[in-house]
Amino acid sequence: MKRVAKLSLMVFGGMAMNSIAVAADGQAAAEGSSLSASPEVVFGQGITDTLVTSWIISLAIILLMRWLVGAKPTMIPRPGQAVTETVLGGLQSIMEPIVGAKAFGHIFPLLFGYFIFILLQNWSGLLPGIGSILHRVGDSYLGILRPVNSDLNATLAMALISLVAWMYLSIKHVGISGLYGHIFGNKAEKNGIPGFMYGFLFVIFFGVGLIECISIIFRGVSLSFRLYGNVFGGDNLLHNMYTFSEFLTNGGFVKTELFRTASNVLGGGANLIAFVVKYLGYLLPLPFYFLEILVGLIQAFVFTLLVAVYVGLIVKHDDEQHHINLE
Amino acid sequence: MTIELPVGFASVGIDAIFGKFGIDWHLLLIQGVNFLCVVFVLYRFAFRPVLKTMDARRAEIESGLKYASDMKLELENLNSQRQNMIDGARTEAAEIIFTAQQQAKIYGEQQKAEMAATVESMFAKAKDEISAERDTVLKNTKNELKYLVVDLAAKVLEKTLSQSDKDNFIQAASAGMRDVFYAKKNQ
């Protein structure tokens, strides 16, 4: 119970510190109400804010996992090992039936890696300091830390790796001819239709295969843009909430038309409302943190699940066909 | 390179999209390599050992459960064997008791029959002995009485009896004694 209280204090404290840091500084807000769609170069040699965050969080992930698992996992798990086993065991129980036991042995490091990496990188955007630690570049100040998945380079790189892995596993498990057959092959029953129609269907299925190829290529685009869009959108949402929070905590509410109308109606009571609104402004970003925790988890899961589905579609489909042919 | 979009949309250049989102092949490569490095390290030091431990634990649990199941089966067999042995022993004991009872009964009846026969033979023997003794006693008594009667008669008559007198007296005495004897016996 004490631990839960301590953890809650750390989380809420971190959120509040982040909120206060941004609101007090005001410099980030001065840069505009929305973030740039592309990463900013903050250091020499083209090192961007997302790259710095990526390295720091990657190192933190490795250290965290090492701390949780320990030097050597034991048969009677320690609390950290139990947490890791629960996560990995849960993922395994979901992914293995999708991918198939045969391919799971090859792809599980990548699937687990996607989930852990994307999840913790997404949640890193909620840490104090991300977006609020500034670095002077020329005449302007730029945040040196930014969630990695709000950079399309990172999400596209992971999507391309998933495509390469898909291709490798497809060739490994079904072979080049099997892959060709899966995409372009005539799936009609030869005995069920006239011969000329069966020949004509080759052309149709080849055309369908070309569309399938485009669809496979666009899997990379959809995977990367989905993750990027969600994380970048969430980052923008938090940024805007901080800006609005700053507006409220600096007494912006009293300058609005709404306050003037309230004053006309309520008189002195409007000042009380302005007082409450001013201090509620500090808590404004808080609900959106919970939203982003959920979005971060869902996006990590969706990305991992889709990669598993893409692999499972060809590997398991081939397994089933073999099974049917044998029957 | 440009993508031609349907009428009503402005044509959008891929380079423009890449520029807008800051796509740069250097960054793409670095991010990819960074991700792969993290995956490799996690796989080497976290995923693989943890999964191996989980598999080892699963195997141990399975073998433990199998052992427990085997032991349970063995216990059931032993219980069954024990019960069979107890039932067998009970049946055997019941048979032994029944046989012993039967034998005891037969022996008892034999003994009874033997005893009865012995008693019967002893009784018959005793009866014969008694009868023989009585006859002997009667015979002796009769003889003694015969001569006693003759002597008594001679003394009473004070004469010497001839042999034919003696025989007549003896016959008469014998008949009288027989009558007396049988009369007493019939009483």
pLDDT at B95 over 60: yes
Q: What is the mean pLDDT of chain A?
A: 81
Residue A245 has pLDDT above 90, yes or no: no
Residue A140: strand pairing partners: A137
C-alpha triplet A184, A189, A192: angle, nearest 5°: 145
**Which residue from B minimizes the CA distance to A51?**
B31
What local confidence, expressed as pLDDT, does residue A34 receive?
Answer: 65
Residue A22 has pLDDT above 50, yes or no: no
Mean pLDDT of A70-94: 89
pLDDT, average across residues B64-87: 94
B62 touches chain A (CB under 8 A): no
| pLDDT at site B12 | 59
Q: Which of B28, B29, B39 sits opposite A110 (nearest CB)?
A: B39
What percent of chain B shows pLDDT beyond 90? 35
pLDDT at A33 over 70: no
- Quote the number of domains for chain B: 1
> Pick from A292, A198, A188, A170: which is nearest to A239 by CA?
A292
B3-to-A122, B11, B22 alpha-carbon distances in Å = 32, 6, 18
- Give me the pLDDT at residue A17, please: 44
Lowest mean pLDDT among A26-35, A102-111, A224-233, B32-41: A26-35
Give me the residues of B, 19-38, that contact A with CB < 8 A.
Answer: 19-24, 26-32, 34-38
CA distance B30 to A36: 20
- Angstrom distance (rounded) from CA B147 to CA B166: 9
The answer to whether the Cβ–Cβ distance between B46 and A109 falls below 8 Å is no
Element (H, E) at B174: helix B163-186
Instruction: Give the number of other CB atoms < 10 A from CB of residue A321.
Output: 15
pLDDT of residue A224: 93
pLDDT range class, residue B185, cuts 50, 70, 90: low
CA distance B62 to chain A (A): 14
- Selecting from B20, B31, B47 the residue whose C-beta is nearest the C-beta of A157 gives B31
Please report residues of B whose CB lies closer than 8 A to that of A152.
21-23
* Structural domain that includes position B9: 2-186
**Is the confidence at residue A29, as pLDDT, over 60?**
no
The pLDDT value recorded for residue B60 is: 93
Q: pLDDT of A297-325, one tens digit each? A: 999 999 999 999 999 988 876 555 554 44
Give CA angle at B64 (B60, B65), nearest 5°. Answer: 120
Q: Which of the pair, A296 or A273, is modelled with greater confidence? A: A296
Does residue B35 contact residue A55 with C-beta atoms inside 8 Å? no
Q: What is the pLDDT of residues B135-161, one digit of tens each?
A: 888 888 878 887 887 778 777 776 666
Q: Is the pLDDT of residue A155 over 60?
A: yes
Q: Do A113 and B39 touch (CB under 8 A)?
A: yes
The pLDDT assigned to B8 comes to: 44
Residues of chain B positioned with their CB less than 8 A from the CB of A46: 24, 26-27
Average pLDDT over residues A136-161: 86
The answer to whether the Cβ–Cβ distance between A154 and B20 falls below 8 Å is: no
DSSP string, A111-179: HHHHHHHHHHHHHHTTSTTTTTSEEEETTEEEES---GGGSHHHHHHHHHHHHHHHHHHHHHHHHHHHH
Looking at the predicted structure, is the pLDDT value of residue A15 above 50?
no
| pLDDT computed for residue B141 by the predictor | 82
Residue for token digits 């391309």?
A160
Query: Out of B43, B48, B50, whose CB is closest to A81?
Result: B50
pLDDT at site B1: 44
CA distance A195 to A111: 44
Contacts of B35 in chain A (CB under 8 A): 113, 117, 154, 157-158, 161
A3 vs A120, more confident: A120
- Do A151 and B54 make contact, defined as CB atoms within 8 angstroms? no
pLDDT at A176 > cutoff 80: yes
* B22, B53, B54 member nearest A152 (Cβ): B22
Give the minimum alpha-carbon distance from B21 to chain A in angstroms, rounded to a whole number.
Answer: 5
Q: Output B161 or A126, whichever has higher pLDDT.
A: A126
What residues contact residue B144 under an 8 Å CB cut-off, 6+ apart? none
Q: What burial letters (b/e) apply to A146-156, b meaning 16+ CB within 10 Å?
A: bbbbbbbbbbb
Alpha carbon of A154: minimum distance to chain B alpha carbons (Å): 5
Question: Given this model, what pLDDT does residue A318 score?
Answer: 55
| pLDDT grade for B186, boundaries at 50, 70 and 90 | low
What's the mean pLDDT in B62-84? 94
Chain A contact for B14 (CB, 8 A cutoff): no
The shortest C-alpha distance from B61 to chain A (Å) reads 11
Residue, of A8 and A133, whose pLDDT is higher? A133
Answer yes or no: are the C-beta atoms of A147 and A233 closer than 8 Å. Answer: no
